[in-house]
Amino acid sequence: MATGAAGAIPLAGYLLWFHGFYGQFAFTNSDGIYLWSRTATFANCAIIRPPADEVGFCPRQPVAQRPSASTFIWEPSSPLKNVPGKKFSVAKNALAQDFAIRAITAQPGAYLGDVLHDVSLTFYWNNPEHPSVMMSHRYQFSYAAKHWISPTFALGHGQTVASDQLHYGGATTTQVIEPFAGWMRGYQRFIYLRGTLLGVLLLIGLGGIARAWRGGGGAGFRRLAGWGGPGLYPWVASVTLLLVPVMTADFAERYVLIGVPVICLAAALAFARPDPASVTGSAAATGTTGADAATSSTGTDAATETVVAAGRNGEPGGAVQPGAGARPSAGAHPGT
């Protein structure tokens, strides 16, 4: 509850601010645009049959020749230009979202296939060149001083990259200082978290959850206390962090980065030992403890041994006095 409240309060505050500024309860005016780009990799308008005001969102290239999802938003020939209005206007965002929902509903298998493919990029041994080779290079220190966008590139509203830079104090360039820059380039070339190792950490966390399910006195899935163990919550959270961006937009290494600490936490908790207090609490819930069970077992065994010994010594009927661990038989009286 505390974790949920800690996350919900700032989100609710942002929603209120967004409503006050833009007039609607939302987190962004681009969620529909990004969801549309997710479907643009597979959308077939002959199957989707969108209404006339959404036909402009239909990609023109054959599916096999289409770029990655996010590229559809920024490429010069983006289908977004076929629909009237600004790229991230409220009206265009709503139309794009409607088109995307139609595409997912009409082609659920294609949507799932593209999502699974892009999720698999997370676990590549080498950094995937996605959404493009140029974008993957932007993460490398060796390209830190490269100018990726021309100063004359038009940004809309009559603005260019150069004019925008003036509003922020003017253009600046990244300074490369040797030998320190060389050390950083060499470090990044060989030392980084491989996606395959991240997959191994996820499997370790899943193993800890499976072990917790098998514990608990054999109750497994039926038990409520400690269900899934301490690693369940961070593991589910980490998988959510990996899936949601790909399902709603596209794969990007920066989205994976925020999930790494939670994945490591789930893997570490797979080796956590059960809390003795929780084990005692589970036993108490059943109305018995290990000591009670041992005492009961010992008392029963002692009574059995008394009966056997009495019979061997020739005592009549091998009777056992009440209170010695066995109840008298029906009709028997003490002392007989």
Say whether 82 sits in a helix, a strand or coil. Answer: helix
pLDDT at 174: 84
DSSP per-residue codes, 93-123: HHHHHHHHHHHHHH-HHHHHHHHHHHHHGGG
Rounded distance between C-alpha atoms, residue 130 and residue 132, angstroms = 5
Query: What's the start-to-end Cα distance of the chain, in Å?
Result: 66
Do 3 and 11 contact (CB within 8 A), yes or no?
A: no
Do 30 and 88 contact (CB within 8 A), yes or no?
A: yes
pLDDT at 294: 43
Contacts of 34 by beta carbon, 8 Å cutoff, 6+ apart: 70, 73, 248, 249, 250
Q: For 156, phi and psi rounded to 5 degrees? A: 100, 165
CB burial string 140-163: b at 16+ within 10 A, e below: ebeeeeeeeeeeeeeeeeeebbee
pLDDT at 275: 64
- DSSP class of residue 56 equals G
pLDDT by position in tens, the chain (length 336) = 787 888 899 999 999 999 898 888 888 989 999 999 999 999 999 999 999 999 999 999 999 999 999 999 999 899 999 999 988 899 999 999 999 999 999 999 999 999 999 999 999 999 999 998 888 888 899 988 888 888 888 776 778 888 888 888 777 778 899 999 999 999 998 899 999 999 999 999 999 999 888 765 445 545 555 678 899 999 999 999 999 999 999 999 999 999 999 999 999 999 987 666 655 555 455 444 444 444 444 444 444 444 444 444 444 444 444 444 444 444 444 443
Contacts of 132 by beta carbon, 8 Å cutoff, 6+ apart: 67, 68, 71
Counting beta carbons within 10 angstroms of the beta carbon of residue 44, is it exposed (0 to 12), middle (13 to 18) or buried (19 or more)? middle
Contacts of 63 by beta carbon, 8 Å cutoff, 6+ apart: 41, 42, 44
